[in-house]
Amino acid sequence: MQEDKKIISGFSKLGKRGKLKWIVENFFKDPEAVTKELISYWHGNAEQQDVLDGFSENTISNFPMPFGVAPNFIINGKTYCIPMVIEESSVVAAASAAAKYWMKRGGFKAEILGKTKIGQIHFEWKGDFEKLNRVFHKNKPHLLENVQHIITNMEKRGGGIKDMELIDMTDKEPNYYQLKVKFETCDSMGANFINSVLETFASLFPSLFEKEKEFSAEEKNVNVIMAILSNYTPNNIVRAYVECPIDNLGMFDKNMDAETFAYKFHKAIRIATIDPSRATTHNKGIFNGVDAVVIATGNDFRAVEACGHTYASRDGQYRSLSSCTIENGIFKFWLDLPFAVGTVGGLTKLHPIAKRSIELLGNPSAEELMMVIGVAGLAQNFAALRSLVTSGIQKGHMKMHLHNMLITLKANNEEIQKATSFFTEKAVSFNAVRDFLDSERGIASKISLSDR
Ligand code: MEV
């Protein structure tokens, strides 16, 4: 059999340059150029590069993303400039536009509706649930005693273990039970804390079951399958909202009046509530804002997304995460979003830019950060729906897209200005932009030739 050059053993043992060398030689047509390019993204400061490399494994370079800010957000009367890391054009501009719009209408409001997270120990056991429950309650102090060293600090900050409950899952899976533990983790996201507690509990199970006098020989056996936090935190949840009299909504694109806008906006939410196809895109727009702040602050966007989508399907159908009412002449628009983020621990203080993002937000508590993130999601959703029910999304998108195309085609400032005004009312496509530049450049070179 011919040797497959793309397979290697001991890759992780190679140094960074060794890894890069092997990668470029085996996967790229122009190893020298690719090496140069990837090395050009290494941090100029070796110490900072070590910090970044420490976040992951097998690193060969850094992957830059734009770090933007959306100013003018008023949340609960306080002004924020929100950091956003996102690769999609228009998102930061849309957030800023929504911030400005609502600034004139009382700003955004946000509140925490709950702050408990859960973790689970999944195990198999054969016996009577009542007996299991009795034994569990008898041994609860012993379990808690054994995690005291983990929870003391968290308790000092007002968090810790808030409740523990055995759940009989045998109607869904034979002999399957859960120990469900409720936690409060203050300003940390809590994953390490929760998992450490759960794994300690789980490690105690075999001896605890073995020693239990009430149990028969068969009941002394327990099979722990796994112990892990749940990223679904429906009781760790923020509500972000805006409201104002319909008349204050103002006039919209294409001369749409406030009442027509409110009607169409409300209908758009209704459609996303009843149709999963639309709900997916609708919620994606919310996560444009949410993820951008979650990433900028060094938090786990996969956990936040997973939680949000589960919550969106909590009644069995995937639905809009945001809601809208028009009652007694008042337009109210809100987003309830559960998720777990932190402002201490994890990357929040390790990642140099995440640390600055948190500083930019005024070193908020985790709850305050949740409010900012919820508002970013709501603002994004408002901006998307406002475009969709008025001028359509392409107008704004294409403006940014045009800029990206112009940069790709190496347009200078003068060309960018001319193209921007030329394409104000014209359809933007890569070919059209290239043709425009070709003709501009043709004109320019004719002028410079005739100047000689
Ligand atoms: C694009 O990233 C997001 C939107 O599609 C969201 C929406 O349709 O509501 C504009």
pLDDT tens per residue across span 343-361: 999 899 899 999 999 999 9
Q: Which pLDDT belongs to residue 445? A: 60
C-alpha span between 452 and 353 (Å, rounded): 51
| DSSP β-ladder status, 160-168 and 176-184 | antiparallel
Give the confidence band of 428 by pLDDT, cuts at 50, 70, 90: confident
Q: Tell me, yes or no, whether 280 lies in a domain.
A: yes
Among 341, 372, 391, give the residue marking a domain's end.
Answer: 391
Strands 236-245 and 176-184 turn out to be unpaired
300 given a catalytic annotation:
yes
Task: Check whether residue 4 and residue 102 sit in a common domain.
Answer: no
Strand 236-245 relative to strand 117-124: parallel, antiparallel, unpaired?
unpaired
In which band, very low, low, confident or very high, does the pLDDT at 448 lie, cut at 50, 70 and 90? low
Q: DSSP string spanning 46-64?
A: HHHHHHHHTTSSS--S---
What's the number of domains the chain is made of? 4
Which residue's alpha carbon is nearest to atom 6 within ligand 1?
285
Average pLDDT of span 319-327: 98
Judge if 194 and 126 occupy the same domain. Answer: yes
Judged against a pLDDT cut of 80, whether residue 413 lies above it is answered with: yes
| Enclosing H/E stretch for 162 | strand 160-168
Asked if residue 336 and residue 251 are part of one domain, the reply reads yes
Same domain, 306 and 259: yes
User: Distance between CA atoms of 216 and 37, rounded to whole angstroms?
Assistant: 67
Distance CA 232, CA 172 (A): 19
Structure tokens that stand for 56 in this block: 């992951």
Say yes or no: 371 and 410 in one domain.
Answer: no
- Check whether residue 202 and residue 321 sit in a common domain: no
C-alpha neighbours within 13 Å on the C-beta side of residue 5: 7
Q: Are 291 and 143 contained in the same domain?
A: no
Coil/strand/helix, residue 414: helix
Q: Is residue 235 part of a domain?
A: no
Mean pLDDT of all residues in 372-396: 93
Check if 3 is active-site: no
Q: How far is the CA of 287 from the centre of ligand 1 (A)?
A: 10
141 and 248 share a domain? no
CA distance 122 to 434: 59
Q: Domain holding 196: CATH number? A: 3.30.70.420
Q: Which of 251-255, 347-351, 371-375, 417-421 has the highest mean pLDDT?
A: 371-375
CATH number of residue 304's parent domain: 3.90.770.10
Report pLDDT for 403.
86
Ligand 1, residues at Cβ distance < 6 Å? 88, 281-282, 284-285, 288, 384, 388, 393
Tell me, yes or no, whether 268 lies in a domain: yes
Q: Which residues contact 398 (CB under 8 A, 6 or more apart)?
A: 423, 428
Rg (CA), the chain: 28
Q: How far apart are CA 315 and CA 252, in angstroms?
A: 35
| Cα distance between residue 252 and residue 242, in whole Å | 18
Give pTM, 2 decimals. Answer: 0.91
pLDDT range class, residue 285, cuts 50, 70, 90: very high
Q: Do 253 and 378 share a domain, yes or no?
A: yes
Active site residue 397: yes
Residue with tokens 């997973």: 306
- What does the pLDDT look like over 27-56, one tens digit per residue? 999 999 999 999 999 999 999 999 999 999
Q: Is the pLDDT of residue 3 over 90?
A: no
At position 224, the amino acid (one-letter code) is V
177 and 129 in a common domain:
yes
For residue 206, the Cα-to-chain-centroid distance in whole angstroms is 38
Confidence band, pLDDT 50/70/90 cuts, at residue 4: confident
- Asked if pLDDT for residue 254 goes beyond 80, the answer is no
- pLDDT of residue 1 exceeding 70, the answer is no
Confidence band of 116 (pLDDT split at 50, 70, 90): very high
Domain extent at residue 195:
117-229
Reading the block at residue 374, the tokens are: 């919820």
Q: Kindly state the tokens that stand for 447.
A: 């002028």
Q: Encode pLDDT of 43-92 as tens digits.
A: 999 999 999 999 999 999 999 999 999 999 999 999 999 999 999 989 99
- Band of the pLDDT at 450, cuts 50, 70, 90? low
Does one domain contain both 37 and 8? yes
The first and second tokens of residue 276, run together, are: 């999963």
- Residue 342 belongs to a domain: yes
Domain assignment present for residue 363? The answer is yes
Going from the Cα of 273 to the center of ligand 1, the distance in angstroms, rounded, reads: 15
234 lies in some domain? no
Do 143 and 39 belong together in one domain? no
What distance in angstroms lies between residue 281's CA and the mean position of ligand 1's atoms? 6
The residue type found at 337 is: L
- Residue 77 placed within a domain: yes
Percent of the chain with pLDDT over 70: 97
- Domain termination site, one of 229, 255, 285: 229
